[in-house]
Structure 1
Amino acid sequence: MGLEDVWLPRSLSGLVFQWGTGLASSGRRLCPGQILPLFWTAKEPSRVTGLENSKAVCVVAGAGHSASVTDAGELYVWGSNKHGQLASQAAFLPLAQKIEAHYFQNEKVTAVWSGWTHLVAQTETGKVFTWGRADYGQLGRKLESCEDWTWEKQGSFLPCSRPQKSTPSSLQCLTGATEVSCGSEHNLAVIGGVCFSWGWNEHGMCGDGTEANIWVPKPVQALRSSSALLIGCGAGHSLALCHLSVLSTQGQHLKVTGPSPDATEDARSQEALDNERNREERQPETSTQSRSDGCRNGGLVTETL
C-alpha cells in the first residue's frame, strides 16, 4: 500500500493494479507536456502501464514510488525519483521501468522492500542491495562520491531529466538474510537468527538504547540471547517475534526492565517500618502502658506500694 493516497495490489494472475490520485499532481509537474497513464488518476483499480508482458510476484510502495518483482527475477519501478530510489535519471517515471540486471551483479531479484524514500532488494544468491535516500543511514552505508547529485535544468528533449543520485549497492554483512523489514527510514534484518538494525533512530526504534542514527547494520544487543524469527517496522517503532534460548527461559542473560535502585531501597525501608509497626501492635497492653508511664516519669518506672 502506498503512503500518499495510492493503493497497489497484485492479482493471483500476476497483474498489478493501482488507484488513487495522490501522486498525479507531482507527475504532471515533473513531466510537463506528457499525458499520464490512467492509473495515476484512477479512483478504481487500473492496470499499471509497463507491466503488460510480465507476471508480478511481489509489489511494494513507498511515499511516492512503487516497485514490483516479476517471476523472471526482474525489478520494475515507477513514480517519484526525488531521492534516486528508482535508480534512474528521471525525476518521475510515469511508466513502470525495469532496473537493469547489471545493477544487481546480473543476478535475478527475488524480493524487494520499501521505506518511504529508499529500497532494499535481495537476489537469488542471498545478496542484499540498498539504494535511495541515505541521510539518516537508511542504506546501511555512505553514498559513494559518484552517486552524489544536484538538480540540473531540465532540457526540452528530456522533460524529466536529472543526474542519478543513488544506485543499488550490495551490503555484504546482510548476505543470506532470511527476513528484512523497512520502516519509514529505518530497517531490520535477520541473519543467522540475529536481528540487525540500521537507519533513522530518533525514537529509539533501532533498539540500541540511544536515539543516534545507525549508519551500518549492527546486532540488536537486547535480543542477543534469542533467535529472531519474524520482524516488522513501523514509522517510529519496531517489532520482533523471537524464540528464546534455554538460558533465557531460565532467567539468565535476559534483560528485564525493573525498578530503579532508589525505588528498591525505598521499598525495603517501607517494609522495615511495616514490620516494626506490626511487632509493636502484637505487644501486650501492659507493656504499652509501662512505656507510656516511663516516658511521663523521665524514663524512671516506679512501682506503687
Structure 2
Amino acid sequence: MLHKHLLPLLFLLLLRLPVAAQMYSTTDPFAHTFSIVARDPATGEMAVAVQSHWFSVGTSVSWAEAGVGVVATQSFTNKSFGLRGLALLKSGKSAQQALDELLSDDEGREVRQVAILDNQGRVATHTGKKCVDMAGHQQGNQFSVQANMMLNATVWPAMAKAYEQNAKLPLAERVLAALDAAQAVGGDIRGRQSAALLVVRGTVTAGPWVDRLVDLRVDDSAAPLPELRRLLSLHRAYEHMNAGDLAVEKNDMPKAIQEYQAAEKMFPQNLEMKYWHAITLVNKQQVPAALALLRPIFKQEPNWRTLTERLPKVGLLTVTDAELKQILGLK
C-alpha cells in the first residue's frame, strides 16, 4: 500500500500525463445533425444549411465565404475545420484536397462528419466510422447531403431527392426543401432545436458587405425549420424594401411604389412596410391614397405619427405645411 503522504504527489503526476487519442475538445459542441452544401450552377451562389437538436447549430456547423466555398463540420464538431477549410480553398486547393489535409492530423477523424464544396462546385464528404447511427452522406451534381444520429437511414437520400427535384427554386429555397425532406422522414433521433442558412455569392464583388446574400439562424425553437422558412420569406420581402429605398434615392417613385407594394403583399401585417409605402405615395403627390394607409398605422402605433413629423427636416417627406397638418391630424 502507498504511504498516505505519497498520494497527493501521485495525483499530481497523473494530471500531467498526456491523454492519448483525444477525440474532441471540451470547447467543441456535439452538433449531431443533418446538413447540405450546394452550389447553383446558373448563378454560382453557394449555400450551407443545417438543422439539429442542439442550441445555435449555425454558429458551429456552417461556414461560408463568397468566391471561395462552404463547409459543414458536424457530429463531434471540430469548429476549426470551418475557417481552416475555407483558408485551404482560398489557397487554391480543391474541396477534396482541403478535406484530406484537415483529416490528416485529426485524431478524432472517425467521429467527424465534414462536407466541403468549392467555388467550382466540387464536393468532398467524410463520415467517420464512429459517427452515431444512423449516419451517412450522399453526393450529387455540385452538392452533398450528410447526417448523423438520425432516426433512420432514409434521411440523407430523402434530402438528395428533394434537392434534385426542386432545381427551379432559388438556391436558398432549394436547400430548405432538402432540410424539410429530412425532417419529414424522421430527422434527428433526438428531435429538433435550431437551424441555419447561409448563402454567398460565387464571385467576390467590389463590395464584400453584399457578398453574403442570406445569413439566417434560428437558435432555439420547437419548430426551427418553419421559423427559418418564415425568416427567409421576410428576408425576401425586405429585399423589395431595400430595392424601394434605392429607387427613392434615384428619385424613381413608380419603381419605389412597386417594390414597397411587393413587400407589403408578402407581409400585409407589417406596419413598417405599409408606412414607407404610404410615405412614398405622399412624395408622389398621392396624398389621399397615403392617408388611407397611414390612418390605421397611426391608430395602431402612435409613434409612427411622431416619426412622420420628423421626416421633412431630413428631406424624406416633401409636403406643404397644410398637407403635413392633414397627415398629422389623422384620427
Please, what TM-score do these two structures have when normalized by structure 1? 0.29
The structure with the greater share of residues assigned to strand is: 1
Give the structure-2-normalised TM-score: 0.27
Greater percentage in helix = 2
Using CA pairs below 8 Å that are at least 6 residues apart, which structure has the higher relative contact order? 2
